[in-house]
Amino acid sequence: MDSLELTKNILASLVSMVTLIWMLFRYLHKRDTANAKVITDTIKEATAKAFQVSQIESRVREIEEIQAENTKAIHDLGASLNQRLDQLFIVLANISRDGSYEK
């Protein structure tokens, strides 16, 4: 009967060892899963922020282009206004020189 007890003890030890190893692998798998989730979340956040930065940079470039167009339009408008004022002053000068302009 000692042989039977010895076999039972060996089997119980093997079952305990297999259970411990299985629990260890399960723990490591959970830890790896948790680490993978942290890494995935970090990558998602970084990607989202990079996308936001690229959108902002794109919008800034658009605004700079619009600002350059507006500046050019303002300069053109100023030049046109100066030209019209020059024409008006020439007409007024001609009128007062001819004496047809009375005060």
Nearest to 49 by CA among 60, 61, 41: 41
pLDDT at 50 (0 to 100): 92
C-alpha 78/C-alpha 70 separation (Å) is 12
Nearest to 78 by CA among 70, 66, 88: 70
For residue 67, CA distances in Å to 57, 70, 80, 81 come to 15, 5, 20, 21
C-alpha 91/C-alpha 83 separation (Å) is 12
pLDDT at 98 (0 to 100): 73
Kindly give the confidence (pLDDT) of every residue in the chain, 103 residues in length, as a single tens digit, with 9 standing for 90 and above: 688 888 888 999 999 999 999 998 888 888 888 899 999 999 999 999 999 999 999 999 999 999 999 999 999 999 999 999 999 999 888 887 776 555 4
